[in-house]
Copies of this chain bind each other. A is one copy, B any other.
């Protein structure tokens, strides 16, 4: 199509993988430069999520990340010991531990949000806002395509 004959068009999974790595590298290095160099990979995800909706129980994190609640619990553990998160018991449901950002966590979240916005902006500058909007909708449609499938079949 657009490339010289030698190179094949990369498959969709490859594109997605590399695109994700692009974001991941950008966010991580912004955080590292700002001194937040001890975040586990999924920590970025949690911190980013909590930046928008503060105070979330662990099991919700687990579902959002697609991992077990034990895994989420461990992840929160390390983020707590590293000073990014706090657990506070929910007064309304004494089973729940509500996870919130500490000051350090909020600072890291802000760095991350800024870095993400910067990359988002660079992408829009490169291909135009319409193309980005379209790509987002296409990705959302793809995810919806997979959703029903996942429920039944995934162990």
Q: Which residues of A contact B (CB under 8 A)?
A: 3, 5-27, 29, 44-45, 48-49, 52-53, 56, 60-61, 63-64, 66, 116, 119-120, 122-123, 126-127, 131-132, 134-147, 149-150, 153-154
Is the CB–CB distance between B122 and A145 below 8 Å?
Answer: yes
A116–B13 CA distance with the chains assembled, in angstroms: 9
A12–B21 CA distance with the chains assembled, in angstroms: 12
A105 → chain B, closest Cβ, in Å? Answer: 16
Q: Which chain B residue shows the least CB distance to A116?
A: B11
Is the CB–CB distance between B6 and A116 below 8 Å?
Answer: no
Is the CB–CB distance between B134 and A22 below 8 Å?
Answer: no
Contacting residues, chain B, for A52 (C-beta < 8 A): 6-8
